[in-house]
Structure 1
């Protein structure tokens, strides 16, 4: 593979993580492909390796955008139900905490991303060091809701947040080009600015009790491995078993930045 030039430090880190993740791919695998800027880099690298090595892969995409990209690069993309259970899903994340809990959905695909991740033997997250956080919540939390009665759903979310002691936080209807953003499923997204989420599991249970909420961007206990790339091309691999040894240095690097 030719080395890209003029990469930003963040993109160089994403490239390093992507290459480490696709090294896990074996011929004949059934793969889940994530969505977002990091996933774009990963899909391009995966397609290049598949061409170079003649790999036979079956891929399920988490968004139409990813499906279009992967297909254009020669990867075989099929509906998830047609492929069945997946060997491996590789995806990015907006935040990764010390327990490998995630916030996802910055690209608006977290519903399909969660379905695909749950339908996999293993979910691997790729990210740059800026995505590693001590506590989830600085990045907005996307909540996908159906269009019918969405303002009532928003009100119920506000009441739930107050009941959990999270106070009155801004909730914005996601828009694109001045119009409400619609997911691939035709739903709306409410972005919650929570600052910090002290008990993600409790918050997830709260969303489950609200009619109209289709899915939220909290991925709890789903990620098996996080590969954190660095601008110099090196990576740190984090699992739930060894995080205490590896996450603190990452935090220290971010504090010094």
Structure 2
């Protein structure tokens, strides 16, 4: 938790007065938003946030960060977490079931910065299953298509309610495991080509830099 707080606070330093900021979702981004709220009060920053989930919306609102949307403003800087980061800065996201709006906001930003602790760094993507937001009516046919592609799909079940996880967009969340992911960019497109899939959790080619919390301090990874 301390590493997550360390890197979240470091990312908050990147925000400048007047910025429109994409507010990611998850435990590490929570620290970023909290510190950003403190800066708004301490420095009277004139910024606005574009939330990627109800979680980030409610947190930002309660901290006094003004809210806006992509309909109203372009995003200068988006800060978000990740579940896996490979050496090419490709990501798997979706642990918080918010990857659809996260991908929309993060990919639209002039600068997209990822915040993680060093446990999220992997040699290759695929240690965790890939989340897919799927229309409920398409659950069975999407699952069959994923099996045809060599994947092992399962529906994510809720922990504190009966039945499946329902996303902020009122869809199901499938998770599909593959033995290997040799080409994340190709698989990202292939998964999104399945009718009924709203969006998948592979983020290939979107990231500008990654801030990594380590015991030795914050490490910065950038695209070559």
Pick the TM interval, shorter chain: over 0.9
Deviation, structure 1 residue 195: 4.8
TM-score by length of 1: 0.83
SS in 1 for 2:143: helix
Alignment of 1:4-153 (within 5 A): 11-82=1-72, 84-153=73-142
SS in 2 for 1:148: helix
Q: Higher relative contact order by CA 8 Å / sep ≥ 6: 1 or 2?
A: 1
Task: Give structure 1 stretches of 5+ with no counterpart.
Answer: 1-10, 163-168, 242-257
Specify whether residues 195 and 16 from structure 1 end up closer, same or farther in structure 2 by C-alpha distance, changes over 3 A only: farther
Please tell me whether Structure 1 or Structure 2 has the larger radius of gyration of its CA atoms.
1
Summarize deviations over 1:37-85 as a string: whole Å, max 9, x none. 1111111111111111110111100001110011011111122212x21
Partner of 2:220: 237
Partner of 1:246: none
SS in 2 for 1:197: coil
Specify whether residues 154 and 89 from structure 1 end up closer, same or farther in structure 2 by C-alpha distance, changes over 3 A only: same
Contact 1:139 1:195 (8 Å CA) reproduced = no
Of 162, 168, 174 in structure 2, the residue corresponding to residue 190 of structure 1 is: 174
Which whole-Å CA distance do the structure 2 matches of 1:72 and 1:200 have between them? 37
Of 153, 164, 189 in structure 2, the residue corresponding to residue 180 of structure 1 is: 164
In the TM superposition, structure 1's runs of 4+ consecutive aligned residues that sit over 3 Å from their partners are none
Summarize deviations over 1:162-205 as a string: whole Å, max 9, x none. 3xxxxxx4321111123111111111110112253122122122
Partner of 1:171: 153
Partner of 1:204: 188
Q: CA RMSD in A?
A: 1.2
Q: How many residues align?
A: 222
Contact 2:131 2:173 (8 Å CA) reproduced = yes
Which whole-Å CA distance do the structure 1 matches of 2:115 and 2:129 have between them? 19
SS in 1 for 2:190: helix
Which whole-Å CA distance do the structure 1 matches of 2:46 and 2:5 have between them? 23
Contact 1:12 1:231 (8 Å CA) reproduced = no
1:220 aligned to 2:204?
Answer: yes
Task: Give structure 2 stretches of 5+ with no counterpart.
Answer: none
TM-score by length of 2: 0.95
Specify whether residues 148 and 16 from structure 1 end up closer, same or farther in structure 2 by C-alpha distance, changes over 3 A only: same
Summarize deviations over 1:223-246 as a string: whole Å, max 9, x none. 1000001245x11000012xxxxx
Deviation, structure 1 residue 96: 0.5
Q: More helix per residue: 1 or 2?
A: 1
